[in-house]
Amino acid sequence: MRKIKYPKIGEYVLVTRWGDRDIQDPCFLGHIKCIKIMKDDIRYIIEEDKTEREYPNCFRIYENDKDVAIYLENILVEKEVDRCHL
């Protein structure tokens, strides 16, 4: 998983509140719905996230890495963290 410099709308990603990739941090797995470019920051909104929370960090999940997405979903369920919403 790599942090994305220039993600595209519709790209399948893991977005997080902090960049350390800690699974306990607020995060979400899904497709980019909106990219907000601000003066000194960029925020991402995910289609599947009904709260439309803005996340500052975006990591690519490659198309051929479906196992990674399944693994992340399973981890989130095991931790009883409703798709990382905290």
Domains and CATH numbers, the chain: 2-84 (2.30.30)
Give the mean model confidence (pLDDT) for residues 1-24: 82
Residue 71, pLDDT score: 77
SS3 sequence, the chain?
A: CEECCCCCCCCEEEEECCCCCCCCCCEEEEEEEEEEECCCCEEEEECCCCCCCCECEEEECCCCCHHHHHHHHHHHHHCCCHHHCC
For the full predicted model, state whether its pTM sits above 0.75: no
Confidence of residue 19 (pLDDT cuts 50, 70, 90): confident
Residue 76, pLDDT score: 65
